[in-house]
Amino acid sequence: DQVKGVLTLQGDALCQADVNLKMPRNNQLLHFAFREDKQWKLQQIQDARNHVNQAIYLLMNRDVNYQFKTGSEVLKLMDAVMLQLSRARNRLTTPATLTLPEIASSGLTKMFTPALPPDILVNFYINLNKLCLTVYQLHVLQPSTTKNFKPAGGSILHNPGAMFEFGNQRYEVSHVHKVECVIPWLNDALVFFTVSLQLCQQLKDKISVFSSYWNYRPY
| pLDDT(58) > 80 | yes
pLDDT in tens, 117-132: 888 999 999 999 999 9
Q: What local confidence, expressed as pLDDT, does residue 216 receive? A: 56
Q: What local confidence, expressed as pLDDT, does residue 219 receive? A: 46
- Yes or no: say if 3 and 177 are a contact pair by the CB < 8 Å rule: yes
**How many residues appear in the chain?**
219
Mean pLDDT of 19-39: 83
Mean pLDDT of 129-156: 86
φ and ψ of 174, to 5 deg: -100, -40
Q: Which amino acid is at 38?
A: K
| pLDDT(147) > 70 | no
The conformational region for residue 4 under phi > 0 = left, psi -120 to 50 = alpha, else beta, is beta
Domain boundaries, the chain: 43-206
- Rounded percentage of the chain residues whose pLDDT exceeds 70: 95
pLDDT in tens, 189-206: 999 999 999 999 999 998
φ and ψ of 215, to 5 deg: -70, -35
Q: What local confidence, expressed as pLDDT, does residue 203 receive? A: 93
Helix axes 71-93, 184-216, angle to 10 degrees: 160
Q: What local confidence, expressed as pLDDT, does residue 28 receive? A: 82
Q: Where are the beta strands (DSSP E) in 45-168?
A: 112-113, 120-127, 130-140, 163-166
Cis amide prior to 114 (ω within 30 degrees): yes
| pLDDT(212) > 70 | no
The rounded mean pLDDT for the chain is: 89
| pLDDT(77) > 50 | yes
Per-residue exposure over 168-185, b if at least 16 CB sit within 10 Å of its own CB, e if not: eebbbbeebbebeeebee
The answer to pTM > 0.75 is yes
Per mean pLDDT, which range of 2-11, 134-143, 145-154 is the poorest?
Answer: 145-154
At a CB cut-off of 8 Å and minimum separation 6, what does 10 contact?
none
Q: What local confidence, expressed as pLDDT, does residue 154 receive? A: 92
The residue among 142, 138, 104 whose CA lies nearest residue 123 is 104
- Yes or no: say if 28 and 61 are a contact pair by the CB < 8 Å rule: no
